[in-house]
């Protein structure tokens, strides 16, 4: 796929792979496996339905279909899709939390003062199966 080393490149942590440590760079990252540690990206982070991320995250946009735990900064948008689960502390410029998604923790708007934090319960429609 990506021969082009521009910021359009998307790296992939595939399903059978586990990464522990710090991942940083000017790319997008797609996680279908597991990542534990720190993720700092100039690009976007996409956590696929099988992805499990336990990390401190700083990325442009973050899309969650799998599970993410940790302290998260999305400079553009944090999106938790219907199969996604987030728990932790989120800061983002905008949020999209789909029906069925799980969001547990704190959300802040990027740019607002820290005291403006509110408990995040926009998605208490936890899937009950």
Partner 1 sequence: MFGKEKTEAAPSTAARSDNDTAFFGAKLSLKGKVAGSGNLIVMGKLEGEVDLNGELVIAPPAVLNGEMRAVTIAVSGTVTGTLSAGEKIHLEKSAAVSGRMNSPRISIVDGATFNGDVEMKKPADGAASSKRAEKK
Q: Is 46 in the site for partner 1 (CB under 8 A)?
A: yes
Determine phi and psi for 115, rounding to 5 degrees.
Answer: -70, -15
Number of neighbours of residue 95 by Cβ within 10 angstroms: 17
Determine phi and psi for 25, rounding to 5 degrees.
Answer: 155, 180
What gap in Å lies between CA 115 and CA 126, rounded to an integer?
27
Choice between 20 and 121, CB closer to partner 1: 20
> Least distance (Å) from partner 1 to the CB of residue 45?
12
Which of the stretches 1-9, 53-61, 86-94, 112-120 binds partner 1 when contact is defined by CB under 8 A? 1-9
Choice between 16 and 111, CB closer to partner 1: 16
> Least distance (Å) from partner 1 to the CB of residue 95?
16
Residue 65 falls in which region: left (phi positive, over 0), alpha (psi -120 to 50) or beta: alpha
Q: Which residues bind partner 1 (CB under 8 A)?
A: 1-2, 5, 7, 9-27, 29-30, 32-33, 37, 46, 48-49, 63, 65, 81-83, 100
């Amino acid at each position: 796929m990506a021969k082009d080393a521009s910021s359009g490149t998307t790296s992939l942590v595939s399903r059978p792979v586990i990464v522990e440590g710090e991942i940083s760079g000017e790319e997008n990252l797609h996680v279908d496996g597991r990542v534990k540690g720190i993720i700092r990206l100039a690009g976007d982070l996409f956590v696929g339905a099988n992805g499990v991320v336990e990390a401190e995250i700083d990325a442009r946009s973050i899309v969650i279909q799998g599970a993410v735990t940790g302290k998260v900064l999305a400079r553009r948008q944090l999106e938790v899709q219907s199969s996604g689960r987030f728990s932790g502390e989120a800061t983002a410029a905008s949020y999209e939390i789909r029906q069925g998604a799980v969001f547990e923790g704190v959300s802040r708007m990027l740019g607002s003062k820290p005291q403006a934090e509110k408990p995040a319960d926009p998605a208490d429609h936890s899937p009950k199966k």
